A and B are shown apart, each in its own frame.
Chain A
């Protein structure tokens, strides 16, 4: 079983659509969870951290279910500028600090 698994992409959606990405992780010791965004041929950039209580940042909502080891990202009212690859990221567990990345899910928002 891979350590972080994400929905296979690509997701092709029209502007204004709502899109959801799912992710599961295998290490129950993981304590920190993130969604990063990566544009083509660029570095990953933090989109948002994910907390147990769930958190929202504008059109983006992240949820964490520790019991199911499941993370989600919801994007409402998609914009053309949301087109990117979204990476689900968890920490390795313990104090190492290194992150485990999923393969990413590519989102393409069309006019």
Chain B
């Protein structure tokens, strides 16, 4: 499978715990995006990378959230001190630098109890 992959697919955690999600983009894609989607809403942009550089962060990305893409390939999204409001689907997408079409991974569904 050469699409975008995400791990884990599901995560249940207790409030206050830290969680980390991983995204592996399509191999030749330079851009990598993180989105969050809650029930009944469309995905909301969180942040994006061009190669290893994080170029844009949404106001939604509080200081408890951090994302990295150290070698310009896979990316991680960490949420510290999780809150119940963090419960959502976290989607990763990738695209070629010069193209607009973004391809989404299957998402990580987070439930904070």
Contacts and interface: CB of A to CB of B under 8 A. Distances in A.
Nearest to B100: A32
A4 B95 CA distance: 22
A87 B42 contact: yes
Contact of B41 (A42, A44, A103): A103
A42 B106 contact: yes
Interface stretch (B12-20, B43-51, B69-77): B43-51
B104 A91 contact: no
B31 interface: yes
Interface residues of chain A: helix, strand, loop or mixed (majority) = strand
Contact of A96 (B48, B95, B104): B48
Given A43-B105, A46-B101, A46-B103, A101 B56 contact: no
Interface size class of B (residues with CB under 8 A): 20 to 34
A43 B101 contact: no
B91 A43 contact: yes
A27 to B, nearest CB: 13
A96 to B, nearest CB: 5
Interface size class of A (residues with CB under 8 A): 20 to 34
Interface in A29-45: 32, 34, 42-45
A97 B95 contact: yes
Contact of A91 (B43, B100, B107): B100
B42 A97 contact: no
Interface of B: 31, 33, 35, 40-45, 48, 55-56, 58, 91, 95, 100-107
